[in-house]
């Protein structure tokens, strides 16, 4: 596993220096950034900001216990910590499904660019509707991961700091399956994809968790979808070809 990790990361760094892949990376960042900013403004200012304003002491009777609690300095500090980590997680929550959708647009191009740059042997023919299947899969997966994260949103809100570990743990598998599936669905049927996922489960989860960590790092999170496409392209292209029969 260690050699796999080292080799895959080294090759991905080389890929990012390739002019063709760099061009795709820049385009991906632009699309992701514009859409993410719009969604973040809608979510933060119209939802989370309103929720945090409810704790303003001026909303309560000055003689009441809630006014006293919300006026405490320690509560303000605690609220600030919660707000910081919530905003951090919120950005990641937006970028995870958005990254899946954006990756679907470039998955095919990146896959074959990686194949050509590293001279991988790959003889599986693309399906005629591969682009449609990849984007449909990406959109469906993005919706699923978004809904799952919305369901466990209370954990993210109530457990600052711990919410980072919860986020990485839960989304590691989701992200791994999503990005790997973006490629596999272009070549294989559902039954074959299930078997491939079983064979590569540990590597898929590790790469998925690694990408999720990237989603929590400012600036780097905008590169995460493209980096994920590169990582999972290498995973598939350098895997034992017997699992693809």
HEC profile for the chain?
CHHHHHHHHHHHHHHHCCHHHHHHHHHHHHHHHHHHHHHHHHHHHHHHHHHHHCCCHHHCCCCCHHHHHHHCHHHHHHHHHHHHHHHHHHHHHHHHHHHHHHHHHHHHHHHHHHHHHHCCCCCCCCCCCHHHHHHHHHHHHHHHHHHHHHHCHHHHHHCCCHHHHHHHHHHHHHHHHHHHHHHHCCCCCHHHHHHHHHHCHHHHHHHHHHHHHHHCCCCHHHHHHHHHHHHHHHHHHCCCHHHHC
Asked if the model's pLDDT at residue 226 lies above 80, the reply is yes
pLDDT of residue 145: 83
Q: How confident is the model at residue 242 (pLDDT cuts 50, 70, 90)?
A: low
Mean pLDDT highest for which of 94-98, 181-185, 240-244? 181-185
Asked if the model's pLDDT at residue 190 lies above 80, the reply is yes
pLDDT of residue 189: 86
218 or 75, which is more confident: 218
pLDDT of residue 69: 62
pLDDT of residue 85: 65
Q: What is the tens place of the pLDDT at every residue in 32-41?
A: 888 888 877 7
pLDDT of residue 66: 60
């Amino acid at each position: 596993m260690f050699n796999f990790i080292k080799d895959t990361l080294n090759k991905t760094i080389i890929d990012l220096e390739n002019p063709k892949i760099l061009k795709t990376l820049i385009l991906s960042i632009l699309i992701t950034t514009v859409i993410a900013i719009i969604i973040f403004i809608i979510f933060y200012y119209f939802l989370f900001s309103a929720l945090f304003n409810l704790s303003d002491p001026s909303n309560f009777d000055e003689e009441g216990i809630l006014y006293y609690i919300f006026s405490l300095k320690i509560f303000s500090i605690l609220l600030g910590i919660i707000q910081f980590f919530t905003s951090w997680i919120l950005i990641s929550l937006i970028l995870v499904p958005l990254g899946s959708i954006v990756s679907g647009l470039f998955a095919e191009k990146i896959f074959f660019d990686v194949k050509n740059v590293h001279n991988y042997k790959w003889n599986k023919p693309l399906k005629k509707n591969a682009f449609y299947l990849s984007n449909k899969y990406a959109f469906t997966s993005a919706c699923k991961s978004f809904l799952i994260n919305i369901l466990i949103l209370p954990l993210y809100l109530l457990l600052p700091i711990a919410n980072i570990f919860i986020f990485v743990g839960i989304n590691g598998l989701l992200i791994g399956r999503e990005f790997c599936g973006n490629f596999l669905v272009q070549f294989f049927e559902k039954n074959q994809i299930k078997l491939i996922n079983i064979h590569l489960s540990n590597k898929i989860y590790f790469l998925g968790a690694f990408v999720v960590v990237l989603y929590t790092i400012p600036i780097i999170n905008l590169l995460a979808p493209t980096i994920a496409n590169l990582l999972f392209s290498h995973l598939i292209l350098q895997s034992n070809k017997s699992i693809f029969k």
